[in-house]
Amino acid sequence: MTVDEVDSSSEWSREQDKAFKNALATHPEDDSDRWEKIAADVPGKTIEEIKQHYELLVEDINQIESGCVPLPSYNSSSEGSTSHASDEGAGKKGSGPGHYSGESNHGTKASRSDQERRKGIAWTEDEHSSLEPGTEQSMTGKDLEIEGYTVGGLSIGGHETCVIFPTLKVAFDIGRCPPRAVSQNFLLITHAHMDHIGGLPMYVATRGLYRMKPPTIIVPISVKEDVEKLFEIHRKMDQSELKHNLIGLDIGEEFYLRKDLKVKAFRTYHVIPSQGYILYSEKQKLKPEYVGLSGNEIKNLKSSGVEITYTLTEPEIAFTGDTMSDFIVDENNTDVLRARILVLECTFVNNSITVEHARDYGHTHLSEIISYAESLQNRAILLIHFSARYTVEEIQHAVSALPPSLSGRTFALTEGF
C-alpha cells in the first residue's frame, strides 16, 4: 500500500495527525476496542481510515528498519573519541577513531545533497511521526530468537550498548537511545560510562513527547543522586518535566517490575562502580500433595483457606554489563550462572589483544569465557560488547571455533558491525 492508493477523501490534517499520534500512545495494543477508542479521539475519521493510516505508518517504519530509506551519516560530527572509548583499542577497520564504519550504502535513491541537507536541520513533524513508537512491530534485522525470547539492540564496545527484550518491555543500558528502546517501559542501567548511559535523557524526553507513561529506570545506588542531578540540569535547560520513576538498587536488592517479574542486582567487576541484573519469573504452582485432585476438591480446599500453591521463582535472564570475568567466581552469583539466558560482555575475541589488556580496562576476553565454560550452566549465552576493532567475520569466526561445551548454545549480537 502506498500513499497514492489512499482515497483523496481520507487526507489528514496536521491536527488529525497529532490526535492520532496521541491516541496511539494513550490506548495500548492489548485494548480489545483500541481502534474504536482511537477513532473517537480523531475527529472526522472512521475506524477503517484509522487502521489504514496505521498500516501506512507501519510500512514506513519497516522501510526504514530494512534500510530502504537512507539515513544520513554525519562522519564529520563523529570524529575523535571519548575517554572511555580508548579502552577498546583501535577503531573498527575502515573507520576513524571513535566512529565505526558506515561503508554500507543502503537506499541509494537519495542524493548526497539531500543527505547533506539533514545536517543541523530539525526533523519535520511528519518525519517524527514516521518513527512513532506506538507503531512498533516485531523486531527485525539481526535480532535473535533465544530460548523463547526475542533479543535485539546494539552493543559495540566504547560506542553504544542497549540490549532489548521487547516481550518483557525491558532494555538493559541505553547507549545513544536507539529508537526501539523508547517503547520499553523498564530500563536497567549497569554503570555510568557514556556508551551505556549517554542516551538516558533522550529516552525519557522521547517517551514524554509521545505521551507514554513515565518509565521505570533502575540504576546503581551509587549513581542515583548524580542521575537525579543530571535530570534537574536537563529540566532547567529543556524546560520540560522529564517524568520518570528512578530506583536505586544496591547489590543483592530486588525490585518488582510487575507481579510476575522481578529484578535483582548482582556484583560485577569494572573500572568504575557497576552491577549486573537478573530477571526472575515468578509463577504459582500447585503443591505436589494436591496434584491429581479433581477440580471440585481443589475448589473446596481453597474455600476452606488451605494454601494450595507455592511460588516458583526462576532466573530467566542475567545481564552483566561491562565486567571482568571475576563475577563468574563470585559465590553470590550462582543464579547468574544458571539463568536461562546469560548476556555476557566479550570485548575481545582473539589473541591480537591479551587477557591482561582486557583486565586492565575491566573487560572480559573470550579465552576466559572458554576457560570457565563448565561453570556456565546457562541454556544460552549471548555475547555482546565486542570491540569496534573487529569485523563481523572475525566475530563469527571466533564464535564458530568455540569448544563443544559452548558452541551449541552461544550467540553473538553483531548489529551495527
Cell (9 digits) for 172: 538493559
User: What's the CATH class of domain 148-412?
Assistant: alpha beta
Residues ≥6 apart with Cβ < 8 Å to 302: 308
What's residue 37's pLDDT? 87
For the chain, domain boundaries: 148-412
- Which residue's C-alpha cell is 527485525? 140
pLDDT confidence of residue 27 = 81
What confidence tens digit (pLDDT) does each residue in 276-288 have?
Answer: 999 999 998 889 9
3-class SS at 103?
Answer: coil
| pLDDT for res 23 | 83
pTM for the whole structure: 0.69
The dihedral region occupied by 364, where left means phi > 0, alpha psi between -120 and 50, and beta the remainder, is beta
Give the pLDDT confidence score for residue 362 in this predicted structure. 97
d(CA 284, CA 311): 5
pLDDT in tens for each of the 417 residues of the chain?
A: 443 444 434 588 878 887 887 788 778 777 788 888 898 888 989 988 888 888 887 776 655 545 554 444 434 333 333 344 444 544 444 343 333 333 333 333 344 444 443 434 444 444 444 444 444 433 445 789 999 999 999 999 999 999 999 999 999 999 999 999 999 999 999 999 999 999 999 999 999 999 999 999 999 999 999 999 999 999 999 999 999 999 999 999 999 999 999 999 999 999 999 999 999 999 988 899 888 888 888 888 888 888 888 899 999 999 999 999 999 999 999 999 999 999 999 999 999 999 999 999 999 999 999 999 999 999 999 999 999 999 999 999 999 999 999 999 999 999 988
State the Cα–Cα distance between residues 306 and 228, nearest whole angstrom: 46
Q: Where are the beta strands (DSSP E) in 320-389?
A: 341-345, 380-384, 386-387
Task: Indicate the pairing of strand 410-412 with strand 380-384.
Answer: parallel
Instruction: Tell me which amino acid residue 113 is.
Output: S
Give residue-wise pLDDT tens across range 27-40.
877 778 888 889 88
Specify the pLDDT at position 315. Answer: 98
pLDDT in tens, 162-180: 999 999 999 999 999 999 9
Please provide the distance, in angstroms rounded to a whole number, between the alpha carbons at the two ends of the chain.
32
- What pLDDT digit, counting tens, does each position of 57-104 carry? 777 665 554 555 444 443 433 333 334 444 454 444 434 333 333 333
CA 166 to chain centroid: 8
- Give the model's pLDDT for residue 99: 35
- Percent of the chain having pLDDT more than 70? 77
Nearest to 189 by CA among 218, 227, 167, 211: 218
